[in-house]
Structure formats: C-alpha cells, structure tokens
Amino acid sequence: MTVMGRLRAPPPVVHRHGRDSPFTPLEGRKMKASFLKNRVTRTWMMGLCLMAAPAAQATSVSVLDPRLPTVKPTSPELDPETPVQRLVVKFHEGTRVRVRGGGLQVVSTERNPAERGRMARRGLSEQKLRQDLMAALRVLADVPRMGPPGRLFRQDELTLAERKRLAEERSGKEQADLDLYFEVPLKPGTLAADVNELVMRLNALDSVEIAYAEAATEPAWFGLEVSGQATNTSPGYEGLQGYLDAAPGGIDARYAWTMPGGTGTGVRIVDVEGAWNGTHEDLPRFFYTGGVQFNDLGWRNHGTAVMGVLAGQANGYGVTGVSYGAQVGHEGVAGQSIASAITRAALVAGKGGVVLLQLQARGPRGTRDCTCNTSQCDEVPLEYWRANFDAIAQATAAGVHVVEAAGNGSVDLDSPVYRGAFDRSVRDSGAILVAAGTAGTHAPMCWTNHGSRVDLHAWGEKVVTLGYGDLSSAGEDRWYTGTFSGTSSAAPIVVGAVANLQGIAHATGKGPLEPRALRELLRATGTPQASDAKQIGSMPNLREAIPELLAK
C-alpha cells in the first residue's frame, strides 16, 4: 500500500472499538509463548515441518483454546465528525441469531450442545436473548439507514460453518461464528455523531458481544499524481527495481528465482482493495476477479501498482514482479464489508496461499506527532476492528498467509489508546504486519506506523512498478511509475518474499507452510532495521531465509 492523502473515491469500510480494552490476555499469552521467538529455533522449525500435517491429527483435539472475549467500550470511539458507512453488530457465540424470512431471528432449534453450553455459561436465557434481539431491532429502526439489517459476511452459512470447523481442527483454537455478525448500511453523509449514542445502546444489551460504526477505508499510499512522458515503446525497468537486489539493499528476490519454485510457482495471491487495470501490458491474466471494483482512476492506479510489484511479467520490458511465477487475483471491496472480502479472498487463496490487505482506516486518536502526512493521521491496520480480526484469525488458522499493511498514520501501535489490540501478549491474528522503511537504508519513514506488533518492513518509497505514468506514459495500459510509496509499496514486497518461500516449499515437497512459522522465519533471518526508536522489524532477506527453510 501507499500513503493516502488525496484519494477520496467511494471508499470501502472498516470498524472501530472504544477506549476500554476489549481484549483479555488469556489467548494472547499462549500465542506469545508458542510463537514469539526472536531467533530461529526448534519451535519454528518444527512448525515448518508440520506445515503439511494432515487435518486428521487436528481433529483429535477435543478441547479448543477459548476464543478471545470482547470487552465493550464505555464511551464512543469515533470523533463525532468521522464519516461512517455502516453499523456492525455481533451477538454472542451460541445465540444462533440468523437472517430468516428477511429479518433477524433466534433459531434455537439449530443450536448444538456446545452452543447451548456457551449460552448457559454466559447466563443468557432464551427469553432474555429474544428480548435483547427485539430491543436491538428497535434501536436499529432509529438508525439513518439505507436498508434493513443483513449478514456482514456474504458467503453462505454452510461455507462459513465448514471454514470455522476446519480452522478449529487445524489450529486447536476456537473461531468466531461469523454468521453472528450483522450490518446496517447507513445513508451517505452519516457521521459518527449521528450514531454514537445508538451504538452505546446496542452495547448495553447483554446478548450483544460488540457493536460499532465502520468508518471508510483507504489505500495506504503516499500522494502520487498521474503524469508522465509519452513513449512509443515500453523500456525495461527491472534494473531500477532495487528492492529485488541482494541484501542489505533489497530482499534478494533474484537469488530466490534461481531455486525451484522460487518465483512463487504454485502459489495463489489475492489482493484485497478497490480497483485494478487488468489490461495492463505487463500483467498476467488474473486467476480470480471477485467482488466489485470502484470506477476510479486513483484506486485503479493503486491496485495496478501493487500487482506490478507482485507479478509484473518477466518479458524483457516494463518491470519484473517479486513473484512473477505466482497466480494472482483480486477481491474488490466496493459493495461489501472488508471482513467479508477477507474471508472470500482467503477461501480462494487456499491453504498455502497469500491474502494481501492493502487498506487502512482511521482509528482512535493515537498520535500527537503527525506532521509529515497530516491527511492520514491515526490511520491504523484493518485488524484493529473485531470483525476483521476474526476473519484474519480464521484465515491464518486455516493455513492461509495474511500480509497486512501497518498503515501510514504516524502512530505507535503500542499506545494504550488501542487497548491492547496490537499487543501480542493480548491477541495475535497470525497476520504479518508490514511497516515502511527508506529505500535500501531501513530507517522508518516518518509517517509509518510502528510498534512491537509490526513484524517486517520493506521499501516505503521510490518503488518502480506499474501505473500512474510518471516514469512512462503511453496510455493507461503502458503506464509505469518510479515513485510508488507508503506501506502500500512495502506490503507487496513482503508478500513476494512469502510467496517465493512457499513456492520453494512446494517444489521441495514440504507443502503448505504454517503461517506463524513462516512469519517467524522471515523475522529471524531478515536485514535489521536502522537504529531508531520506532520499531518496524527487519526486512526479508531471502538468501538467508531459504537455507533455513530447506534445512528442515
């Protein structure tokens, strides 16, 4: 992603929480003990060995690690002037609230013994649940809405249930029932001030796990304009792609290309954002085109630039993508929630595939030092909001690698304003969070988000790729740029490292890698960041990571 300053096209959506911590440390401490090592150890090596462990082994797990509880906010989370697009409401696990007959109903006849047990442990009676549902519907009737409440996740119920079951079997961790999330689309121009009090009334209901208003998302880029000089032929720009070079300047993608599978062969990558130019001369045919795109040049340039970093073709002209041998597709976010888009993308990518999240959204006010990118102050990663977190956690539990832009909001993600959302000892989605560093020198860009939850960084400036036309322009299908930037440029570079390692694993018979194990491998073998108080993690170094991968 890049930094977002000027792009204000019809945006997708993201969610928010309040100022009291919605998380407890139970699950996070277990994750931290198992996965957060600072060096290459037997722990992650074992994870790489178990990458292809059959699901049958996981099915023997009779007791799941409990899902992270949510503590509701006690005050509104969003500034009153924040534009919002929908309300999100989730009922507690076990309640079996579903859309039936065009409305929300309690379907108690479908409740299984485990769900009845959850209801009992929470002290929720059938009568209380039905009373709360009626109360919630009365509140939602007062919302400035465009339509009735509906399912937040667009996949059918059977698909979501099966994905939940498989993720639990594979991970041993309880996953959210995503069918308990509902959305209410809001009228254009609705502000947080119009719904904050209604959200608090929803959160006062015992049967509601969490309710919040979603604000708009944006691509995490940094101010590119469309301009350029027309050319008759497209020259080759691979020599300008320093991020492909050997460490310490780049990730040494060129070394990975010499290995079987090292171009990402056999790996599916799905980019989640707003739009793409599928007819660009230097892109392969997309294996998947899901969702709906925005009809906007800014969004389209952004997505095309991302795809160029990933999969620009090795054809002698234009650029060469980090993972030019991978299959690439995209999931458009227009007309659906981000959480739904994540789940759809993960289903298509499959075990061992990669989902790239190239969006950010405004969270609580977490910075007092935002001077170099004021239009994106306080923009944070998507997983801050609970529905997105649950979707990502389920994807990684199912063996899908998720790479997420850390955002360009100039914030310290360890700030208490986020109530532990980015504290690994509290919770961990399993995603790789990517910050932005200077080209080749690994210092944090002044606007990049940072903190202990950030796993890796890559170039956040001067990235040569497709789109925009400042490098060469002869019609949109032949546009190239030399200034793609932000966590939007950094994240796809890291995705390329993930895909190339996964491709090598496939080619050498190791099968799909465990997402957390691969994350730790990249962290442990990367090029360290420059000395700085802002923690952005190391940058992938494939020449160091590949031997460690092959050693097991």
Q: Which two tokens stand for residue 407?
A: 């955002």
pLDDT tens digits, 424-463: 999 999 999 999 999 989 999 999 999 999 999 999 999 9
Return the amino acid letter for 538.
Answer: S
CA distances from 539 to 250, 323, 455 (A): 8, 17, 9
In this prediction, residue 1 carries a pLDDT of 37
**Number of Cβ within a 10 Å radius of residue 174:** 20
Q: Give the residue among 141, 146, 139, 136 at the shortest CA–CA distance from 86.
A: 146
In this prediction, residue 362 carries a pLDDT of 86
Gap between the Cα atoms of 10 and 216, Å rounded = 9
In this prediction, residue 132 carries a pLDDT of 98
In this prediction, residue 14 carries a pLDDT of 36
What is the pLDDT of the chain when averaged over all its residues?
87
Kindly state the DSSP code that residue 286 receives in the 8-state scheme: P
Return the amino acid letter for 96.
Answer: R
Rg (C-alpha) for the chain, rounded Å, is: 22
Gap between the Cα atoms of 326 and 329, Å rounded = 10
Return the amino acid letter for 407.
Answer: G
Q: How many helices (H) and strands (E) does the chain have?
A: 14, 18
Confirm if 349 and 355 have CB atoms less than 8 A apart: yes
In this prediction, residue 31 carries a pLDDT of 39
Return the amino acid letter for 43.
Answer: T
Reduced to 3 states (helix: H, G, I; strand: E, B; else coil), residue 156 is coil
In this prediction, residue 41 carries a pLDDT of 42
Q: Where are the domains of the chain?
A: 25-41+50-216, 221-550
In this prediction, residue 230 carries a pLDDT of 42
Q: Which two tokens stand for residue 138?
A: 């009365």
> Tens of pLDDT along the chain (552 residues)?
333 333 333 333 333 333 333 343 333 444 344 433 343 443 343 344 434 333 333 334 468 998 888 878 888 888 888 888 999 999 999 999 999 999 999 999 999 999 999 999 999 999 999 999 999 999 999 999 999 999 999 999 999 999 999 999 999 999 999 999 999 999 999 999 999 999 999 999 999 999 999 887 877 655 554 444 444 468 999 999 999 999 999 999 999 999 999 999 999 999 999 999 999 999 999 999 999 999 999 999 999 999 999 999 999 999 999 999 999 999 999 989 999 999 999 999 999 999 999 999 888 887 667 888 888 888 999 999 999 999 999 999 999 999 999 999 999 999 998 989 999 999 999 999 999 999 989 999 999 999 999 999 999 999 999 999 999 868 999 999 999 999 999 999 999 999 999 999 999 999 999 999 999 999 999 999 999 999 999 999 999 999 999 998
CATH superfamily membership of 221-550: Peptidase S8/S53 domain (3.40.50.200)
CA distances from 362 to 19, 216, 296, 322 (A): 14, 8, 21, 30
In this prediction, residue 345 carries a pLDDT of 98
Confirm if 306 and 463 have CB atoms less than 8 A apart: no
In sequence order, the β-bridge partners of residue 330 are 271, 289
Q: Which two tokens stand for residue 405?
A: 């832009």
b/e sequence 208-220, b meaning 16+ C-beta within 10 Å:
bbbbbbbbbbbbb
| pTM: predicted TM-score of the whole model, two decimal places | 0.86
